[in-house]
Structure 1
Amino acid sequence: MHIRKATIDDAPISFAIRREAIRAQCRDHYPWQDLEIWTAGEMSGAFASRVADQFYVAVIDERVVSTGMIDLATGKIDAVFVCPEYMGRGIGRAMMAHLEDLAVHSGLLDVHLDATLNAAPFYRAIGFEGDGRVIYKSSLGVSLTCVPMIKHLRSD
């Protein structure tokens, strides 16, 4: 597996991975109706541009199997998704380590994210802190409970 900067050509597969991962992992934590709204529709041009600008992808045997993004101006991590058939193999952990390394090299002292309820235990296991709840309001019209989390980075 290797992680590389995404290109505009990675946008369709990134959108598909997002949809598959949400439907596979979030179904026991959110109403299915909300997940349907959250994952409905076609990929937008704004999403494709965001992939090209800020996403990274993990690739195994020339197949993109995971996504992740970081805004190096704010330290916000988002869109960390793994294809369901590749979950549990350390790919999400490797993606997070890569994004954190980028943050450290950019001089950031911490990173933050809003974790879905199902993902919060994963983020805690890799050093993130946070137990509060906020409501994430999607541009698609769905509101989801999330956990704001932060991780303080080593400044070696």
Structure 2
Amino acid sequence: MLIRKAHSGDAQRVFDIRNQAINHQCVGHYPEADLAVWTRGELSDYFIEVVANTGHVAVIDNQVTASGLLDLETGQVDAVFVDPACMGRGIGRRMMDYLEQQALQAGLSHLILDSTLNAADFYRRCGFVGERIAQYQSPRGLTLACVPMIKHLAR
């Protein structure tokens, strides 16, 4: 497996993995109507730009299998998604380790994220802390329950 900086040509695959992972992993944690709104629509220019600017992808056998976004100015982690067909292989954990290394190289002291309810335990296993349920305002107009989390980085 190779993890590399994403480029705009990866955006459609990242968008597809995002939607598949949401529909696979978030069922039972969020209303089905919210999942439908969360995953509807087409790839936007904004999403392409975000992937190109802050995205990273995991590649296995020349196929993008996972994504992760990291804003090196704020330490915000977002869109850590693994293709459901590849889940359970440690790809998500390796992506998080990679993003942490990128953050350390950039001199960041911490990472922050808003976890979906289903992913909070995964992030805790990666060293993040956070228990409080908050409301996340999605760009698609949804209000979703989330768990704000932080990880202080050891230098």
Return the offset for 1:149. 0.3
| Alpha-carbon separation, structure 1, partners of 2:139 and 2:62 | 32
Q: Which runs of 4+ in 1 moved over 2 A?
A: none
Q: Which residue of 2 aligns with 1:41?
A: 41
- 1:120-153 residue CA offsets vs partner (Å, 9 max, x unmatched): 0000111100001111111212111000000011
| Alpha-carbon separation, structure 1, partners of 2:138 and 2:76 | 17
| Alpha-carbon separation, structure 2, partners of 1:110 and 1:52 | 23
Q: Are residue 136 (structure 1) and residue 136 (structure 2) matched? A: yes
Q: Which residue of 1 aligns with 2:116?
A: 116
Q: Which residue of 2 aligns with 1:98?
A: 98
Q: Which residue of 2 aligns with 1:9?
A: 9
Return the offset for 1:74. 0.3
Percent of aligned pairs sharing the same letter: 54
- 1:34-64 residue CA offsets vs partner (Å, 9 max, x unmatched): 0000011001000001111110000000000
Give the count of matched residue pairs.
Answer: 155
- CA-atom RMSD in angstroms: 0.6
TM-score (norm 1): 0.98
| 1:67 counterpart SS class | strand
| 2:4 counterpart SS class | strand
Amino acid at match of 1:140: R
Please list every run of 5 or more consecutive structure 1 residues that lacks an aligned counterpart in the other structure.
none
Q: Which residue of 2 aligns with 1:19?
A: 19
| 1:12 counterpart SS class | helix
TM-score (norm 2): 0.99
Q: Which residue of 1 aligns with 2:153?
A: 153
Q: Which residue of 2 aligns with 1:72?
A: 72
Return the offset for 1:118. 0.1
| Alpha-carbon separation, structure 1, partners of 2:29 and 2:125 | 19
